[in-house]
């Protein structure tokens, strides 16, 4: 029997999942769950790295002896080590405002078309590139002390075993990696005076980098999205995927990156998958809108469960008001319901007043944005998609899955819920020689994991609303067509 431990970190919580593989059968259980509580410290919004690390050690203790362990996290964020190998400060959160205005400033050194052509990464101000530019400009003394950059999953591995390595999938979120050669873009590093020595050696997904208490420490697919896609059950032909959590990442697997000007204008991104293929996708603000709205209502003294919010949404009038989830005002923490109302007011729509109306607006807007993103993928690749495979926490949200099927007009196949942790486990098993390939792991998932299929219902009823939605996006000037 092989026992492996997957640490899966999300923006609001983390889990330790223990996987066991024997005689071709896979079982798994959660052995530890903990909150991820970023906070303001030293002038920035930061991750509490010591607390995260303490929970890693506790999770490993609860799991007992294992053959290996690995980490996956969100993308773009990193920690900095000094020349003595000490962490200089708690990693800054991607929602910190230090990168405001730096995207446009960066274009003076490398125009948008050239930057996209070099990296294939959707240009977002949260990207690691802009975080490094913020350091250069705002904290030059810290920049001078920085000897080594480690992205979050690699930083956690370093804290356990001392290894300094940079796994490729997480590096591909940074806007610093050349997706063709899967090496650092010399054009980008040169344009922004970033020394290549700052980065640890690149390693492929599934590389053993060290040891912790007798267990191999493996660089899985450090980016959680790529772990989830690795666990995509043997997919239907021409299916797109939607990794649905705090962020929604909607895309498809390709053999080669798409680096065209059209791709840049559409805001599509080329990330490296655990199998070395390109995952061509759109980053969309996802369940964050629901999570942060719930927190806002709690701050106002109103406590709702997610089931309450879904019920209230169902009771509200359908297809009344819509937002663009990716409008910049929805990214920072705070009063999301108030911002939803402001967006609707500004774009001349009925203003959602009740909790149910706000929730209905958010749910329907996510479904509409998923359809819009599928259209963009088709524009850029020429592919027509026959189904949408939803992975991760969003698979538990039946209302969102039903709306997405109805809006897109194609079946939604939801599951597995634990796709990210399962992908992490599969990559470890492959590294240990228990599986031959990611494809074999996907066949295992297809055989053992439950999925739910949602057929499109009332697709025609969404057609007029989709035309309205495109008009709203044009009016808000938040998307390119």
Distances (CA, A) of 135 to 144, 145, 162, 172, 403: 10, 11, 25, 20, 42
Is residue 42 among the annotated active site residues?
Answer: no
| 3-state secondary structure (DSSP) of residue 202 | strand
* Phi and psi angles of residue 390, each rounded to the nearest 5 degrees, phi first: -95, 130
Tell me which H or E stretch contains 371. Answer: helix 355-381
The first and second tokens of residue 370, run together, are 């998923």
CB 369 within 8 A of CB 325: yes
Give the active site residue among 77, 96, 224, 397: 224
| Residue 233 parent element (H or E) | none
d(CA 445, CA 423): 9
The residue with tokens 């390595």 is 165
Report H helices in 305-354. Answer: 306-315, 336-346
For helices 336-346 and 288-299, the axis angle rounded to 10 degrees is 110
* C-alpha distances out from residue 295 to 311, 312, 314, Å: 18, 16, 20
Catalytic residues: 224
């Amino acid at each position: 029997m092989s026992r492996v431990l997957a640490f899966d970190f999300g923006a609001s919580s983390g889990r330790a999942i223990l996987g066991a593989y024997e005689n071709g059968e896979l079982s798994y259980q959660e052995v530890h769950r903990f909150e991820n509580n970023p906070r303001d410290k030293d002038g920035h919004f930061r991750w509490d790295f010591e607390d995260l690390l303490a929970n890693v050690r506790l999770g490993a203790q609860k799991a007992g002896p294992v053959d290996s362990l690995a980490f996956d996290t969100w993308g773009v964020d990193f920690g900095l080590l000094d020349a003595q190998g000490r962490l200089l400060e708690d990693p800054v959160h991607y929602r910190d405002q230090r990168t405001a205005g730096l995207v446009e400033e960066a274009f003076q050194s490398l125009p948008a078309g050239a930057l996209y052509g070099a990296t294939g990464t959707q240009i977002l101000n949260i990207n690691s590139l802009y975080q490094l530019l913020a350091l250069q400009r705002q904290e030059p003394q810290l920049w001078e002390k920085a000897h080594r950059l480690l992205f979050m999953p690699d930083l956690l591995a370093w804290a356990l075993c001392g290894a300094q390595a940079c796994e490729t999938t997480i590096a591909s979120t940074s806007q610093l990696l050349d997706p063709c050669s899967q090496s650092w873009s010399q054009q980008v590093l040169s344009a922004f005076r970033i020394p290549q020595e700052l980065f640890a050696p690149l390693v492929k997904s599934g590389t053993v980098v060290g040891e912790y208490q007798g267990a191999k420490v493996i660089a899985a697919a450090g980016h959680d999205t790529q772990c989830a896609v690795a666990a995509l059950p043997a997919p239907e032909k021409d299916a797109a995927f939607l990794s649905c959590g705090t962020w929604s990442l909607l895309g498809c697997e390709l053999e080669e990156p798409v680096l065209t000007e059209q791709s840049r204008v559409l805001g599509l991104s080329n990330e490296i998958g655990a199998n070395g293929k390109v995952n061509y996708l759109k980053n969309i603000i996802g369940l964050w809108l629901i999570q942060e709205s719930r927190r806002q209502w709690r701050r106002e003294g109103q406590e709702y469960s997610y089931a309450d919010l879904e019920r209230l949404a169902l009771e509200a009038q359908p297809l009344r008001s819509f937002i663009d989830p990716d409008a910049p005002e929805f990214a920072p923490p705070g009063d999301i319901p108030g911002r939803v109302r402001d967006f609707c007011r500004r774009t001349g729509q009925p203003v959602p007043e009740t909790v149910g109306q706000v929730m209905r607006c958010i749910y329907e807007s996510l479904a509409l944005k998923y359809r819009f993103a599928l259209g963009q993928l088709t524009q850029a690749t020429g592919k027509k998609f026959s189904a949408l495979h939803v992975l991760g926490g969003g698979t538990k949200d039946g209302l969102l899955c039903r709306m997405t099927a109805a809006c897109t007009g194609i079946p939604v196949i939801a599951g597995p819920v634990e796709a990210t942790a399962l992908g992490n486990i599969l990559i470890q098993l492959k590294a240990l020689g228990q599986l031959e390939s990611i494809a074999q792991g996907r066949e295992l998932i297809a055989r053992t994991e439950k999925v739910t299929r949602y057929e499109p219902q009332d697709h025609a009823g969404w057609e007029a609303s989709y035309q309205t939605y495109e008009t709203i996006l044009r009016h808000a000037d938040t998307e390119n067509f």
